[in-house]
Amino acid sequence: MWKTRIGAILLLIIGAGIGYFIYASEPKLHEGKTVSGQAFAEKFPFKLGLDLSGGVQLVYQADVTSVKPGEVKNAMDSLRDVIERRVNAFGVSEPIVQIQEKGGITGPVEERLLVELPGVTDVKKAVDMIGQTPKLEFMTERSKAELDAYNKALEKLQADQTAGKPLNIPAVVLAGPYKPTELNGRFLERAVLEFDQTTREPIVSIVFNKQGSDLFAELTKANVGKTIAIYLDRELGNPEPISAPVVREAILGGKAQITGKFTALEAKTLVGRLNSGALPVDKLDLLSTQTISAPLGAQALMAGVWAGVWGLVIVAGFLVLWYRLPGLVSVFALAIYVVIMLALFKFLGVTLTAAGIAGFILSMGMAVDANILIFERTKEELRKGHGVHEALREGFARAWTSIRDSNISSIITAIILFWFGTSLIKGFALTFGLGVIVSMFTAISISRTLLFALPFNGHGVVVRTLFGSGFFRLK
């Protein structure tokens, strides 16, 4: 008995300690005050989603027409990594970059990219963050026949321009003297700024990954004595190659150099942009933007917080009024459940959204539901004349199967929602599923320990009163 009571006291102390940690980690709760452990606790702030903190949401559609069907998923995964590195480089706090697929049942699949930037309210700045990712291309010389056609078309274009005639630009002129290859920035591993040992001119050295190294080796082997042109953002108004070195021999090491009339600052900027990632898809089209102001996000956050507070107060009041002493015990267990969940949100880095808060509040109902099942079973045993501890033991045993089955079905539902849902649904599913798991622990372990620590036994008037239901005493 004393072991149980000591265990109950320890649980209450631990719960209070976790609650204090939550308090210390939120500066707004103790403005102007100094609390112990504040510096450590503030390292674990709540991570708020776009709808609670304000910011910008951008939806892009990726053009994957030149990507092989079997490589689309890898290309989109690489694109997500590229954009994450890009926005992280700008110091955006907790950006969310996700891949979404639209269509696919009766129409073509659209590959989309969802970018959420909390704290950013300037849409133009946000779009620039994404748009500054360069597109690197390696192109080889055209055949003699293709070059002759190019030169003739270019001469005619120049003659028409001199004569003042309307310009009719043939496709071959737009294509230029080089033709595209499979090798592009998606195969880039890293870029490094170096300087020529003789001229001291800046050089950008690039290293390809394994697949890029193989492609580069084949490319250089097939074009010995010819030039390979390196283009950067050719489709964005840069029609001239930034470098066109002559291939002396096949290059097997997967390394290349970009030379040109760079200043040191320009070369450094180019290295940074290349390392932040070249687009692994043809292009990104901005479909929509959404801006949520910080005051609106704060208003949504406070609405969610007050919903949780009032929900907790009303549920606690119901438990105490209807289930009396066991209800009061379950309120303590519910309080421990709440602080455990809040601590998990902080330590696991869960990004809280309005939908996530709704999932958390709903999971509180699951925690209460488990206690109600236990209490009702316990009252049935007390009516049979059993003592308190024996009735509690039977109540937990008989209620366990119902609690287990209902919670398992809820967890399965949460997993399905998280697996197939959008980002909004995933936030709800994550907090709800996590809450159900924690509620099983608090209902079976914490509530049980606290109830068995009660100093009551037998089946007297006091027991029948404290363990009664609502306005009625147990008979």
Token couple for 206:
């690039």
DSSP string, 195-243: E-TTT--EEEEEEE-HHHHHHHHHHHHHTTTSBEEEEESGGGT--S-SB
| Distant-in-sequence, close-in-space partners of 363: CB < 8 Å, separation ≥ 6 | 341, 431, 432, 434, 435, 436, 438, 439
Alpha-carbon dihedral angle through residues 421, 424, 430, 436, given to the nearest 10 degrees: -100
CATH number, position 396: 1.20.1640.10
CATH number, position 95: 3.30.300
What residue numbers bound the domain in which 377 lies? 293-466
173 assigned to some structural domain: no
94 assigned to some structural domain: yes
Strands across the sheet containing 96-102: 96-102, 110-118, 55-63, 283-292
pLDDT for position 277:
60
Q: How many CB atoms lie within 10 A of CB 252?
A: 12
- Say which residue the tokens 């108004």 belong to: 237
pLDDT for position 313:
85
Last residue of a domain, one of 235, 269, 291: 291
Token couple for 341:
């969940």
Last residue of a domain, one of 291, 312, 330: 291
Last residue of a domain, one of 262, 291, 320: 291
Find out whether 120 and 57 touch, Cβ atoms under 8 Å.
no
202 assigned to some structural domain: no
The distance from CA 141 to its chain's CA centroid, rounded to whole angstroms, is: 43
Q: What type of residue is 325?
A: L
Find out whether 129 and 80 touch, Cβ atoms under 8 Å.
no
| Distant-in-sequence, close-in-space partners of 241: CB < 8 Å, separation ≥ 6 | 139, 178, 229, 230, 231
| Distant-in-sequence, close-in-space partners of 431: CB < 8 Å, separation ≥ 6 | 341, 345, 350, 352, 356, 357, 359, 360, 363
Reference 469, options 386, 378, 390, 401; nearest CA is: 378
Nearest-angstrom CA–CA distance, 308 and 91: 32
Going from the C-alpha of 11 to that of each of 22, 61, 375, 442, 446, the distances in angstroms are 17, 51, 21, 11, 7
Reference 143, options 222, 59, 201, 83; nearest CA is: 222
252 assigned to some structural domain: no
96 assigned to some structural domain: yes
Phi, psi angles (nearest 5°) of residue 303 = -60, -40
pLDDT for position 269:
72
Asked whether the CA dihedral 313, 316, 318, 320 is positive or negative, the reply is: negative
Token couple for 213:
């190294």
462 assigned to some structural domain: yes
Nearest-angstrom CA–CA distance, 23 and 21: 5
DSSP string, 393-424: HHHHHHHHHHHHHHHHHHHHHHHHHHHHS-HH
Token couple for 218:
């084949």
pLDDT digit string (tens) for the chain, length 475 residues: 667 778 778 878 888 888 887 777 776 666 666 666 566 556 777 777 777 777 788 888 888 877 777 778 877 887 787 777 767 666 665 677 888 777 655 556 788 888 887 777 677 777 776 766 567 788 888 887 877 877 787 787 777 777 777 766 675 555 567 888 888 877 888 888 888 888 888 888 888 888 889 998 998 888 888 888 887 766 655 667 777 778 888 888 888 877 766 788 878 777 776 666 666 676 778 888 877 766 666 677 777 778 878 888 888 888 888 877 778 888 888 888 888 888 888 888 777 777 888 888 888 877 788 888 888 787 777 777 777 777 778 888 888 888 888 888 888 988 988 887 766 688 888 888 888 888 888 877 887 788 777 776 656 666 666 666 655 555 5
pLDDT for position 238:
61
Query: Coil, strand, or helix at residue 250?
Result: coil
pLDDT for position 175:
55
243 assigned to some structural domain: no
pLDDT for position 119:
72
Reference 122, options 54, 53, 59, 48; nearest CA is: 54
- DSSP class of residue 101 equals E
Number of domains present in the structure of the chain: 2
Q: What type of residue is 195?
A: F
pLDDT for position 42:
63
Q: How many CA atoms lie within 13 A of 458 on its CB side?
A: 7
Token couple for 89:
């480089």
- Say which residue the tokens 């005493």 belong to: 473
pLDDT digits 0-9 by tens, 85-121: 767 666 665 677 888 777 655 556 788 888 887 777 6
pLDDT for position 169:
61
41 assigned to some structural domain: no
